[in-house]
Amino acid sequence: MQFIKNDDLKAGIRLARPIFDRNGTLLYDRGSALTAGNIPSIRKFGFPGLFVLEPAEPVPPITEEELEYERFQSIVLHRIKEDYQLLHNAHAPENLDTLTTEIMNLYGSFSHRMIFVQDLRSEEDALYKHALNVAILCARLANELKLDVMSKYSVIYAALVHDIGLDSDIAKHRKRILSFTDDIPEVFTPEMEYYFKIDYEDRNTGYDILHAEYNDYELPEKALNIMHQFNHVFYHPQMPINERLVEFWETETKILQVSNMFDVLTCMNDYHEPLSYMRAIQYLKKHEEYYDKDIVNCLCNALSILPAGACVDLNNGDKGVVLAENLEDFSQPVIFSFNSKRLIDLAQPDIASEHWVIDNMRMMDNRPRIDAETLKHFIADPGLVETTRMIRKKLIASHDRLAKQGIVL
d(CA 93, CA 79): 10
Q: Are 179 and 195 in contact (CB under 8 A)?
A: no
The percent of residues above 70 in pLDDT, for the chain, comes to 76
Q: What local confidence, expressed as pLDDT, does residue 186 receive?
A: 58
Helix (H/G/I), strand (E/B), else coil: 52: strand
> Residue 19: is its pLDDT beyond 50?
yes
Q: Are 165 and 265 in contact (CB under 8 A)?
A: no
The percent of residues above 90 in pLDDT, for the chain, comes to 21
For the residues 134-160, what does the mean pLDDT come to? 95
* pLDDT tier, 304 (very low <50, low <70, confident <90, very high otherwise): confident
> Residue 374: is its pLDDT beyond 70?
no
> Residue 82: is its pLDDT beyond 90?
yes
DSSP class of residue 15 equals: B
pLDDT digits (tens, 9 = 90+) for 65-78: 888 888 888 889 98
d(CA 260, CA 341): 40
Task: Select from 102, 100, 369, 400 the least CA-distant residue to 220.
Answer: 100
Task: Select from 61, 155, 165 the least CA-distant residue to 108.
Answer: 155
pLDDT digits (tens, 9 = 90+) for 135-144: 999 999 999 9
* pLDDT tier, 104 (very low <50, low <70, confident <90, very high otherwise): very high
For the residues 255-262, what does the mean pLDDT come to? 92
d(CA 313, CA 279): 12
Least confident of 18-27, 72-81, 354-363: 354-363
Q: How many residues does the chain have?
A: 409
Q: What local confidence, expressed as pLDDT, does residue 80 receive?
A: 93
Task: Select from 255, 252, 249 the least CA-distant residue to 234.
Answer: 249
For the residues 272-293, what does the mean pLDDT come to? 84
Q: What are the start-end ranges of the H helices in 34-92?
A: 39-43, 64-88
324: part of which helix (H) or strand (E)?
strand 319-324
pLDDT digits (tens, 9 = 90+) for 200-252: 777 778 878 888 888 888 999 999 999 888 877 666 656 666 666 667 788 99
| Type of residue numbered 133 | N
| Type of residue numbered 138 | C
> Residue 399: is its pLDDT beyond 70?
no
Q: What local confidence, expressed as pLDDT, does residue 408 receive?
A: 47
pLDDT digits (tens, 9 = 90+) for 43-71: 887 777 788 888 888 887 777 888 888 88
| Type of residue numbered 325 | E
Instruction: Kindly report the average pLDDT of the chain as a whole number.
Output: 80
DSSP class of residue 55 equals: T
Q: What local confidence, expressed as pLDDT, does residue 298 receive?
A: 93
Q: What is the DSSP string of 202-220?
A: HHHHHHHHTTTTT-TT---
> Residue 199: is its pLDDT beyond 80?
no
d(CA 370, CA 338): 14
Contacts of 20 (CB under 8 A, 6+ apart): 26, 27, 70, 71, 74, 75
Least confident of 195-209, 272-286, 332-346: 195-209
pLDDT digits (tens, 9 = 90+) for 109-125: 877 888 888 877 777 78
Contacts of 90 (CB under 8 A, 6+ apart): none
